Structure 1
Amino acid sequence: MPETVCFDMYGTLCDTSSVTGTLADELDAPDALVSELDATWRAKQLQYSYQAALMEEYQPFWTVTADALAYALDQWGVEADEPTRERILAAYEHLDPYPDAIETLTRLSEAGHTVTVLSNGNPEMLETLADNAGLAPHLDDVISADEVSTFKPNPAVYENAAARTDTPIDGCRLVSGNAWDVAGAGSAGMHTAWVNRANDPFEEIGVGPSIEVSSLSAVADELA
């Protein structure tokens, strides 16, 4: 039966670690330091989104991402002026799509599913990235957590996606490479697909995935 399939953007359709090229170019830093900066930036980006949601101090995800970058640079003692920081931040508008992303979106669409993005990114971030990554022509909609002024895994984000697409929440499926996102969507009543590329254990909190796969193309194998 056709579903509304909602793909997370960061870490699912697009590889957040593709910012490392920009970090290396802009900071002239060794590979080991670039790797640490990348990991800290992403970890703080997620942490700050959780904190903002829990404190009811919502800020657009672009601001959260900029604050996380500032923390990472401070943590590792890296000096970067404002123009340099802006160029590094802009890497989030040019993330590399995973090699099987477009194929997966196409196959699911051809199978009759409604295919959307559901992401913490604010609309401008998501639309720009979808265009730059070549994903936009293969999507029926782009849905942002910004519409409800909070972040995943708040149930309101998933409920809004169901309402936006005029689909019962149990007719929606979240596809995410982030286990915490899958746990949140499952708790909100969505079916889920966890793209577990690293063969990690699942979260101890929240609802487990409806299906678990190792790649995006395997999602299409399961659903198409």
Structure 2
Amino acid sequence: MARTFCFDMYGTLCDTSSVTATLGEELDVSDSLADEIDATWRRRQLEYSFQVSLMEAYRPFWKVTGAALDYALARYSLSPDGSTRDRILGAYDRLDPHEGAAETLERLSDAGHTVTVLSNGNPEMLERLAENAGLAPHLDDLISADEVSVFKPAPVVYENAAERTGTDIGDCTLVSGNAWDVAGAGAAGMETAWINRARDPPEEVGADPTDEFCSLVDVAAAFD
């Protein structure tokens, strides 16, 4: 039976940690410090998305990502000039795809499924990244939380994806490497496929994953 697959972009199809090379080059810091800055940046990016949603103070994900970068730089007492900051921030447009990303999308599409991205990223971010990562030709749609002015895991984000694709929410499968995203989508009524690369336990809040996989290609094998 054909389903609608909604893939998370950041951390699922594309590797957010691939910005560390840019951080190291632009800031002239060690690999270990670049890793620490990246981890702080990503953590704050997620925390700020939760905070602005709860505060009902929505701003596009690009601005959230910039604010998180500024925090990370300040945390490590780094003050790059504006051009350097822009180049670092631009690394989010050129994230490396995870292994098997394009293959998985193509196999599911060839099997007759609808294949989309459902992401907190604003449309411009998603369009640039999907094109640069070579994923755009394999996607039926790019669906952004920006359309409802709140971020995942708010239920309306997942409900909007089902409405956009003309699919009953129970016939949608969110594919995500983020456990909190899986918990939120399941609570909203979606089926879920968790890419548990780190072998973590599931979240204690929200819904359990419907299915759990080690890699993207395992999803393709299960559903094509």
TM-score by structure 1 length? 0.99
1:215 Cα shift?
A: 0.2
Runs ≥4 residues deviating over 3 A: none
Partner secondary structure for residue 192 of structure 2: strand
Residue 138 of structure 1 pairs with residue 108 of structure 2: no
1:79 Cα shift?
A: 1.9
1:211 Cα shift?
A: 0.3
Tell me how far apart the structure 2 counterparts of residues 91 and 208 of structure 1 sit (CA, whole Å).
33
Q: Note if contact 2:99-2:216 (Cα within 8 Å) is conserved in structure 1.
A: no
1:81 Cα shift?
A: 1.2
Partner secondary structure for residue 118 of structure 2: strand
The answer for the alignment partner of 1:187 in structure 2 is 187
- 1:109-188 residue pairs with structure 2 within 5 A? 109-188=109-188
One-letter code aligned to 1:93: D
Partner secondary structure for residue 198 of structure 1: coil
The answer for the alignment partner of 1:23 in structure 2 is 23
Cα deviation code 1:46-94 (max 9, x no counterpart):
0000000000000000000000000000111112111111100000000
Partner secondary structure for residue 173 of structure 1: strand
Tell me how far apart the structure 1 counterparts of residues 182 and 99 of structure 2 sit (CA, whole Å).
22
1:99 Cα shift?
A: 1.8
Partner secondary structure for residue 162 of structure 1: helix
Residue 219 of structure 1 pairs with residue 219 of structure 2: yes
Tell me how far apart the structure 2 counterparts of residues 173 and 197 of structure 1 sit (CA, whole Å).
18
One-letter code aligned to 2:103: E
1:219 Cα shift?
A: 0.6
1:223 Cα shift?
A: 1.1
Cα deviation code 1:90-133 (max 9, x no counterpart):
00000000120000001100111000000000000000000000
Tell me how far apart the structure 1 counterparts of residues 218 and 208 of structure 2 sit (CA, whole Å).
18
- 1:3-152 residue pairs with structure 2 within 5 A? 3-152=3-152
Name the Cα RMSD after superposition: 0.5
Tell me how far apart the structure 2 counterparts of residues 53 and 221 of structure 1 sit (CA, whole Å).
36
One-letter code aligned to 1:47: E
1:212 Cα shift?
A: 0.2
Tell me how far apart the structure 2 counterparts of residues 103 and 17 of structure 1 sit (CA, whole Å).
21
Tell me how far apart the structure 1 counterparts of residues 88 and 179 of structure 2 sit (CA, whole Å).
27
1:221 Cα shift?
A: 1.2
The answer for the alignment partner of 2:199 in structure 1 is 199
Partner secondary structure for residue 99 of structure 1: coil
TM-score by structure 2 length? 0.99
What are structure 1's unaligned runs of at least 5 residues? none
Tell me how far apart the structure 2 counterparts of residues 199 and 76 of structure 1 sit (CA, whole Å).
30
One-letter code aligned to 1:147: E
